[in-house]
């Protein structure tokens, strides 16, 4: 007889300096066998340099959970508002250095 797992309830603390959020209009994702690194970028219009506004480092298993959660939220968004809009196009290809 298998035991039923009860959902874990976690209280989330949101510090004031994080609560305001950071605007990002781009991201760079790198990975190794043990982690994914997601750098969220802000690229000002007409500027050749992007700034990393946040870096998140996650275990591959947590990235898989995040992917599933994002896919679910996109389904909900599209059911309510329609297909996700395409971001504004850039003036040309972007190469990151």
Candidates 89, 20, 27; CA nearest to 52 is 27
Note the pLDDT of residue 90.
64
For residue 64, how many other CB atoms are within 10 A of its CB? 12
Q: For the chain, give the percent of residues with pLDDT over 70.
A: 90
CB 34 within 8 A of CB 60: yes
Is pLDDT above 70 for 71? yes
Question: Taking residues 52-63, what's their average pLDDT?
Answer: 97
Domain boundaries, the chain: 23-81
Give the pLDDT band of residue 79 (cuts 50, 70, 90): very high
Q: Express each pLDDT in 87-96 by its tens digit.
A: 877 665 566 6
Report, as an integer, the average pLDDT of 2-25. Answer: 90
Complete DSSP assignment for the chain: -PPPPPPPP------HHHHT----SEEEEEE-SS-EEEEEEEE-TT-S-EEEEEEEEE-HHHHHHHHHHHHHHHHHHHHHH-SPPPPPPPSS-----
The whole-number pLDDT of residue 66 equals 97
Average pLDDT over residues 29-48: 94
């Amino acid at each position: 007889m298998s035991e039923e797992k009860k959902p874990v309830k976690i209280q989330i603390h949101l510090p004031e300096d994080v609560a305001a959020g950071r605007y990002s209009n781009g991201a760079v994702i790198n990975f190794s066998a043990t982690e994914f690194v997601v750098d969220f970028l802000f690229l000002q219009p007409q500027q050749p340099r992007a700034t990393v506004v946040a870096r998140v480092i996650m275990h591959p298993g947590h990235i898989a959970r995040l992917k599933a959660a994002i896919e679910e939220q996109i389904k909900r968004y599209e059911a309510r508002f329609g297909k996700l809009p395409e971001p504004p196009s850039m003036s040309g290809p972007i190469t990151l250095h």
